[in-house]
């Protein structure tokens, strides 16, 4: 029996406990003020600029439930994650830390049908852990819309708007 061990950063967004592979996480930072991004997909809460780069803030909860959103407050954190398309900031109400997730030929985790945002669900001692693929939180058409909205945002700023 093959046992694969993944290290995941565990965080909460609304009632859901997520995990994201540690190697995709660049940093965990306190939430900051974000600017609205007209034309962006529903899961994108807005953007902020870090080191000259525009970073989209994605609410994982909203990616699952269009009518729900993570409450931003003083304890909210942004997980800066790298995707093939761009750097994103995922909203987290609470960050639990790094956990080792063991997969045993599908016993400890099962693939979730019809949920593109989740790579797998893991059963842990303290409940289920939804392991997400950050690059799948936005569909291909969402990525196109986000790119266009960021271009509009940056061109508007460069023209003094």
Give per-residue pLDDT as tens, 90-123. 999 999 988 876 654 443 334 443 355 555 556 5
Q: Which residues pair with 26 in a beta bridge?
A: none
Q: Say what the alpha-carbon torsion angle 60, 61, 66, 70 is, to the nearest 10 degrees.
A: -110
Q: Which domain holds residue 18?
A: 3-158
Mean pLDDT of 73-78: 90
- What confidence score (pLDDT) does residue 107 get? 38
What was the pLDDT predicted at 61? 84
CATH number at 37 reads 2.40.50.180
Cα–Cα–Cα angle for 1, 111, 140, rounded to 5 degrees? 135
pTM, rounded to two decimals = 0.81
Comparison of pLDDT for 116 and 81, the residue scoring more: 81
pLDDT in tens, 21-55: 899 999 999 999 999 999 999 889 999 999 989 99
Q: How many domains are contained in the chain? A: 1
Give the pLDDT of residue 88.
95
pLDDT of residue 27: 96
How big is the CA angle at 23 (ends 133 and 29), to the nearest 5 degrees? 85
Report the chain's mean pLDDT, rounded to a whole number. 80
Place of tokens 């593109």: 116
Q: What is the model's pLDDT at position 15?
A: 84
CB 102 within 8 A of CB 4: yes
Q: Assess whether pLDDT exceeds 70 at residue 87.
A: yes
- Pairing state of beta strands 87-92 and 53-58? parallel
Q: How far apart are the first and last CA of the chain?
A: 60
Which of 32 and 129 is assigned the larger pLDDT?
Answer: 32
Query: Regarding predicted confidence, which is higher, 145 or 116?
Result: 145
């Amino acid at each position: 029996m093959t046992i694969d061990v993944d290290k995941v950063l565990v965080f909460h967004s609304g009632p859901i406990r997520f995990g994201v592979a540690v190697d995709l996480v660049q940093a965990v930072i306190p939430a900051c003020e974000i600017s609205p991004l007209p034309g962006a997909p529903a899961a994108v809460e807005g953007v902020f600029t870090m080191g000259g780069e525009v970073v989209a803030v994605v609410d994982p909860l909203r990616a699952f439930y269009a009518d729900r959103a993570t409450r931003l407050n003083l304890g909210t954190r942004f997980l800066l994650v790298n995707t093939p398309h761009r750097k994103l900031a995922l909203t987290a109400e609470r960050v639990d830390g790094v956990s080792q997730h063991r997969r045993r030929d599908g016993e400890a985790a099962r693939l979730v049908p019809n949920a593109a945002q989740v790579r797998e669900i893991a059963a842990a001692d303290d409940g289920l852990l939804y392991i997400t693929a950050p690059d799948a939180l936005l569909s291909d058409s969402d990525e196109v819309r986000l790119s266009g909205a960021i271009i509009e945002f940056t061109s508007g700023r460069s023209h003094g708007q």
